[in-house]
Amino acid sequence: MKYRKVMVGGTFDYFHDGHRALLKRAFEIGERVVVGVCSDQMQELLRKDSAGIRPLAVRVHSVLSFVNELGALERTELVILNDPLGPATEDPEAEAIVVSPETRKGAEEINRRRREKGLKPLHVVEVPWVLAEDGTPISAIRIRYGEMDEHGKILKK
Protein backbone atom coordinates (compact mmCIF):
# COMPACT_ATOMS: atom_id res chain seq x y z
CA MET A 1 0.00 0.00 0.00
CA LYS A 2 1.23 3.49 -0.82
CA TYR A 3 0.63 6.42 1.47
CA ARG A 4 0.80 10.02 0.33
CA LYS A 5 2.80 11.10 3.38
CA VAL A 6 4.79 8.95 5.80
CA MET A 7 6.58 10.02 8.97
CA VAL A 8 9.80 8.48 10.32
CA GLY A 9 12.18 9.81 12.92
CA GLY A 10 15.12 9.04 15.11
CA THR A 11 18.49 10.03 16.44
CA PHE A 12 20.33 8.36 13.55
CA ASP A 13 23.54 8.28 15.58
CA TYR A 14 26.28 6.05 14.16
CA PHE A 15 24.18 5.36 11.07
CA HIS A 16 23.72 1.57 10.72
CA ASP A 17 21.77 -1.14 8.92
CA GLY A 18 18.82 -0.76 11.31
CA HIS A 19 18.49 2.89 10.29
CA ARG A 20 18.79 1.87 6.63
CA ALA A 21 15.95 -0.66 7.03
CA LEU A 22 13.70 1.94 8.69
CA LEU A 23 14.26 4.58 6.01
CA LYS A 24 14.07 2.10 3.14
CA ARG A 25 10.67 0.91 4.37
CA ALA A 26 9.40 4.48 4.73
CA PHE A 27 10.32 5.24 1.11
CA GLU A 28 8.83 1.92 -0.11
CA ILE A 29 5.42 2.81 1.30
CA GLY A 30 5.42 6.60 1.08
CA GLU A 31 5.15 8.94 -1.86
CA ARG A 32 6.51 11.72 0.38
CA VAL A 33 8.52 11.01 3.54
CA VAL A 34 9.06 13.37 6.46
CA VAL A 35 12.33 12.35 8.12
CA GLY A 36 12.76 13.75 11.61
CA VAL A 37 16.26 13.89 13.09
CA CYS A 38 16.58 14.61 16.83
CA SER A 39 18.22 17.93 17.62
CA ASP A 40 21.32 18.07 19.80
CA GLN A 41 19.22 19.79 22.50
CA MET A 42 16.63 17.01 22.49
CA GLN A 43 19.37 14.43 22.95
CA GLU A 44 20.52 16.27 26.06
CA LEU A 45 16.95 16.19 27.40
CA LEU A 46 16.57 12.47 26.69
CA ARG A 47 20.05 11.67 28.08
CA LYS A 48 20.13 8.75 25.68
CA ASP A 49 23.75 7.93 26.44
CA SER A 50 26.17 9.63 28.78
CA ALA A 51 28.95 9.49 26.16
CA GLY A 52 26.96 11.88 24.00
CA ILE A 53 25.58 11.78 20.51
CA ARG A 54 27.39 12.75 17.31
CA PRO A 55 26.71 16.34 16.17
CA LEU A 56 23.46 17.03 14.33
CA ALA A 57 25.26 17.99 11.09
CA VAL A 58 27.03 14.60 10.99
CA ARG A 59 23.77 12.70 11.62
CA VAL A 60 21.81 14.71 9.04
CA HIS A 61 24.58 14.14 6.46
CA SER A 62 24.39 10.36 7.05
CA VAL A 63 20.61 10.34 6.61
CA LEU A 64 20.63 12.49 3.48
CA SER A 65 23.50 10.50 1.93
CA PHE A 66 21.48 7.29 2.33
CA VAL A 67 18.28 8.90 1.02
CA ASN A 68 20.29 10.08 -1.98
CA GLU A 69 21.52 6.48 -2.54
CA LEU A 70 17.86 5.45 -2.62
CA GLY A 71 17.24 8.13 -5.26
CA ALA A 72 14.59 9.68 -3.03
CA LEU A 73 15.86 13.16 -2.13
CA GLU A 74 13.06 14.88 -4.08
CA ARG A 75 10.49 12.93 -2.03
CA THR A 76 12.06 13.90 1.31
CA GLU A 77 11.16 16.56 3.83
CA LEU A 78 13.80 16.77 6.57
CA VAL A 79 12.78 18.22 9.94
CA ILE A 80 14.82 18.73 13.08
CA LEU A 81 12.98 17.34 16.10
CA ASN A 82 12.99 19.43 19.25
CA ASP A 83 10.48 17.21 21.03
CA PRO A 84 10.13 13.42 20.96
CA LEU A 85 6.83 13.37 19.03
CA GLY A 86 7.63 16.00 16.41
CA PRO A 87 5.18 17.21 13.75
CA ALA A 88 3.42 13.82 13.50
CA THR A 89 0.93 14.82 16.22
CA GLU A 90 -0.48 17.67 14.16
CA ASP A 91 0.17 17.08 10.46
CA PRO A 92 -3.26 16.46 8.90
CA GLU A 93 -1.68 15.10 5.67
CA ALA A 94 0.33 12.37 7.43
CA GLU A 95 -1.09 8.89 6.91
CA ALA A 96 1.50 6.46 8.32
CA ILE A 97 4.50 6.27 10.61
CA VAL A 98 7.40 3.83 10.35
CA VAL A 99 8.84 2.64 13.66
CA SER A 100 11.16 0.08 15.20
CA PRO A 101 10.09 -2.11 18.13
CA GLU A 102 11.92 0.42 20.34
CA THR A 103 9.92 3.42 19.07
CA ARG A 104 6.46 1.85 18.78
CA LYS A 105 5.31 3.34 22.10
CA GLY A 106 6.07 6.81 20.73
CA ALA A 107 3.81 6.14 17.73
CA GLU A 108 1.02 5.06 20.08
CA GLU A 109 1.39 8.35 21.98
CA ILE A 110 1.38 10.28 18.69
CA ASN A 111 -1.89 8.58 17.72
CA ARG A 112 -3.42 9.35 21.13
CA ARG A 113 -2.59 13.05 20.65
CA ARG A 114 -3.88 13.00 17.06
CA ARG A 115 -7.22 11.61 18.23
CA GLU A 116 -7.45 14.36 20.88
CA LYS A 117 -6.97 16.94 18.10
CA GLY A 118 -9.60 15.29 15.89
CA LEU A 119 -7.06 13.90 13.42
CA LYS A 120 -7.09 10.38 12.02
CA PRO A 121 -4.53 8.10 13.69
CA LEU A 122 -1.49 7.13 11.65
CA HIS A 123 -1.11 3.61 10.32
CA VAL A 124 1.83 2.18 12.30
CA VAL A 125 4.32 0.17 10.23
CA GLU A 126 6.83 -1.65 12.44
CA VAL A 127 10.17 -2.65 10.95
CA PRO A 128 11.84 -5.49 12.88
CA TRP A 129 15.24 -4.94 14.43
CA VAL A 130 18.20 -5.73 12.21
CA LEU A 131 20.27 -8.21 14.18
CA ALA A 132 24.02 -8.29 14.64
CA GLU A 133 26.12 -11.46 14.32
CA ASP A 134 25.49 -12.20 18.01
CA GLY A 135 21.69 -12.14 17.55
CA THR A 136 21.14 -8.81 19.35
CA PRO A 137 19.81 -5.67 17.63
CA ILE A 138 22.45 -3.49 15.95
CA SER A 139 22.86 -0.46 18.19
CA ALA A 140 24.56 2.92 17.83
CA ILE A 141 25.81 2.67 21.41
CA ARG A 142 27.58 -0.62 20.73
CA ILE A 143 29.04 0.83 17.52
CA ARG A 144 30.28 3.88 19.47
CA TYR A 145 32.08 1.61 21.95
CA GLY A 146 33.67 -0.42 19.16
CA GLU A 147 31.76 -3.64 19.92
CA MET A 148 30.30 -3.95 16.41
CA ASP A 149 30.35 -2.20 13.05
CA GLU A 150 27.42 -0.55 11.24
CA HIS A 151 26.48 -3.91 9.69
CA GLY A 152 26.42 -5.80 13.00
CA LYS A 153 29.78 -7.54 12.62
CA ILE A 154 31.14 -8.17 16.12
CA LEU A 155 34.52 -6.50 16.58
CA LYS A 156 35.30 -7.39 20.21
CA LYS A 157 33.78 -9.40 23.02
Tell me the average pLDDT across 128-153.
96
Least confident range of 11-25, 29-43, 97-111: 29-43
pLDDT (mean) for 11-30? 97
The domains found in the chain, sorted by start residue, are 3-130 (3.40.50.620)
Mean pLDDT for 59-69 is 98
pLDDT, one tens digit per residue, over 71-119 is 999 999 999 999 989 999 999 999 999 999 999 999 999 999 999 999 9
The DSSP symbol for 145 reads T
Question: What pTM was estimated for this model as a whole?
Answer: 0.94
